[in-house]
């Protein structure tokens, strides 16, 4: 009898343990299903983050193109439209800046290293022929004229100054007709 009781108890215990194994298996299956469900959510979140970053970058560049191309901490930017010298000056002033004043060799080198095309700077002899003045009315002390310039060439009404990066870094200014259309360097 004792032996029969022993086997009877063992059978019962085995029956009881089956649901437990089942539930463990179900738990693992659910975990696997859960992992599979998380994968697409993670991918979607990744794509959303990527789109957000792309949106922010595009917005930045859109804003920068409206402002002009920013150059960094010095508050310098180049206008993105071809305009006469006076219109270019207005473009800068509309953005809280003015045409650039270049009064040191260091600044001349710095600007020349950035510029890739001919641009207006804030120098002219519009008021008095032959007397160059910066846009803040300060006199011209240090000069970086290209060879033979300023020459008031042709019709003798070259009163506005451009910087031509194709010339030597320290000799690249030229007087030009103010009505010529060029981009400009603005400075805040
Ligand atoms: Ca002139
Ligand atoms: Ca000239």
Query: The domain spanning residue 156 has which CATH number?
Result: 3.10.100.10
- Candidates 186, 165, 159, 68; CA nearest to 112 is 165
Question: Residue 160 CA: which ligand is closest?
Answer: 1
User: 112 CB contacts (<8 Å, ≥6 apart)?
Assistant: 163, 165, 169, 170, 172
Q: How far is the CA of 135 from the centre of ligand 2 (A)?
A: 19
pLDDT mean over 3-20: 58
- Please give the mean pLDDT across all residues of the chain: 84
Residues 62 and 151 in one domain: no
Q: How confident is residue 57, by pLDDT bands cut at 50, 70 and 90?
A: confident
Q: Is the pLDDT of residue 14 over 70?
A: no
Token pair in block for residue 117: 């095309």
pLDDT digits (tens, 9 = 90+) for 163-172: 999 999 999 9
Residues 85 and 160 in one domain: yes
Residues 74 and 17 in one domain: no
Residues 33 and 76 in one domain: no
Q: CA 146 from chain center: how many Å?
A: 32
What is the pLDDT, as a whole number, of residue 29? Answer: 60
Q: Is the pLDDT of residue 66 over 80?
A: no
Pairing state of beta strands 69-70 and 76-78?
A: antiparallel
- Choose between 35 and 160: higher pLDDT: 160
- Choose between 37 and 47: higher pLDDT: 47
Question: Residue 153 CA: which ligand is closest?
Answer: 2
Q: Is the pLDDT of residue 19 over 80?
A: no
Q: How far is the CA of 27 from the centre of ligand 2 (A)?
A: 85
What is the domain extent for residue 7? 1-67
Total domains present in the chain:
2
Rg (C-alpha) for the chain, rounded Å, is 37
Residues 160 and 82 in one domain: yes
Residues pairing with 61 in the sheet: none
Residues 18 and 42 in one domain: yes
**Percentage of the residues of the chain whose pLDDT score is greater than 70:** 72
Q: How far is the CA of 160 from the centre of ligand 1 (A)?
A: 7
pLDDT digits (tens, 9 = 90+) for 74-109: 699 999 899 999 999 999 999 999 999 999 999 999
**CA-to-CA separations, 9 to 14, 15, 17, 18, in angstroms, rounded:** 9, 10, 12, 15
Q: How confident is residue 22, by pLDDT bands cut at 50, 70 and 90?
A: very low
Q: How far is the CA of 126 from the centre of ligand 1 (A)?
A: 7
Q: How far is the CA of 76 from the centre of ligand 1 (A)?
A: 26
Residues 100 and 59 in one domain: no
Residues 47 and 121 in one domain: no
Question: Residue 180 CA: which ligand is closest?
Answer: 2
Protein residues near ligand 1, an ion, with CB under 5 A: 125, 152, 159
Q: How far is the CA of 127 from the centre of ligand 1 (A)?
A: 9
Pairing state of beta strands 119-124 and 158-168?
A: antiparallel
Q: How far is the CA of 174 from the centre of ligand 2 (A)?
A: 5
The angle formed by the CA atoms of residues 80, 86 and 92, to the nearest 5 degrees, is 45
Residues 100 and 54 in one domain: no
Q: How far is the CA of 40 from the centre of ligand 2 (A)?
A: 66
Q: How far is the CA of 161 from the centre of ligand 2 (A)?
A: 8
Residues 100 and 180 in one domain: yes
**CA-to-CA separations, 92 to 77, 85, 155, 182, in angstroms, rounded:** 9, 11, 28, 13
Q: How far is the CA of 128 from the centre of ligand 1 (A)?
A: 8
Residues 57 and 81 in one domain: no
pLDDT digits (tens, 9 = 90+) for 135-150: 999 999 999 999 999 9
What is the pLDDT, as a whole number, of residue 13? Answer: 58
What is the pLDDT, as a whole number, of residue 58? Answer: 74
């Amino acid at each position: 009898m004792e032996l029969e009781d022993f086997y009877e108890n063992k059978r019962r215990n085995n029956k009881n343990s089956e649901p437990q194994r089942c539930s463990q298996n179900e738990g693992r299956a659910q975990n696997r299903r859960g992992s599979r469900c998380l994968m697409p959510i993670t991918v979607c979140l990744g794509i959303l983050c990527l789109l957000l970053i792309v949106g922010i970058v595009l917005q930045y560049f859109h804003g920068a193109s409206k402002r002009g191309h920013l150059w960094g901490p010095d508050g310098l930017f180049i206008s993105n439209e071809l305009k006469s010298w006076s219109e270019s000056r207005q473009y800068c002033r509309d953005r809280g800046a003015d045409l650039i004043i270049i009064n040191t060799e260091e600044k001349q080198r710095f600007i020349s290293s950035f510029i890739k095309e001919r641009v207006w700077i804030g120098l002219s002899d519009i008021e008095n022929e032959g007397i160059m003045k910066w846009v803040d009315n300060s006199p011209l002390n240090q000069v970086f004229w290209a060879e033979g310039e300023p020459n008031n060439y042709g019709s003798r009404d070259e009163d506005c100054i451009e910087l031509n990066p194709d010339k030597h870094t320290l000799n690249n200014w030229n007087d030009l007709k103010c009505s010529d259309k060029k981009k400009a360097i603005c400075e805040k």
